[in-house]
């Protein structure tokens, strides 16, 4: 699962500094552990379906003529 950093924090398990706004792969258990610290919520789950939909190319819209009234 993908997660995005809400606040910059040091990931103790991996030893990495996670910057605000960056995304990373994690497990639901690890995300729960990250957010259960005394510092509050540090990361949030990213909706993967929404990310796939936004990256998919869209069909060009058909142009129609406007009629004069």
Per the domain annotation, does 56 fall within a domain? Answer: no
Domains in the chain, number: 1
Per the domain annotation, does 67 fall within a domain? Answer: no
Domain span including residue 21: 2-46
pLDDT of residue 47: 84
E-assigned strand segments in 26-69: 43-45
With a threshold of 0.75, does the pTM exceed it?
no
Range with the poorest average pLDDT among 1-5, 36-40, 64-68: 64-68
Per the domain annotation, does 12 fall within a domain? Answer: yes
Per the domain annotation, does 40 fall within a domain? Answer: yes
Per the domain annotation, does 30 fall within a domain? Answer: yes
Compute the average pLDDT of residues 16-31.
93
Per the domain annotation, does 10 fall within a domain? Answer: yes
Q: What percent of the chain has pLDDT over 90?
A: 58
Per the domain annotation, does 22 fall within a domain? Answer: yes
pLDDT of residue 66: 74
pLDDT of residue 65: 75
C-alpha–C-alpha distance, residues 27 and 2, integer Å: 8
Per the domain annotation, does 41 fall within a domain? Answer: yes
């Amino acid at each position: 699962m993908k997660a995005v950093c809400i606040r910059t924090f040091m990931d103790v398990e991996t030893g990495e500094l996670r910057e605000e706004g960056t995304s990373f792969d994690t497990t639901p258990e690890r995300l729960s552990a990250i957010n259960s610290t005394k510092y509050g919520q540090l990361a949030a789950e990213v909706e993967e379906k929404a990310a796939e939909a936004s990256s998919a190319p869209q069909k060009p819209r058909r142009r129609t003529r406007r009629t004069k009234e």
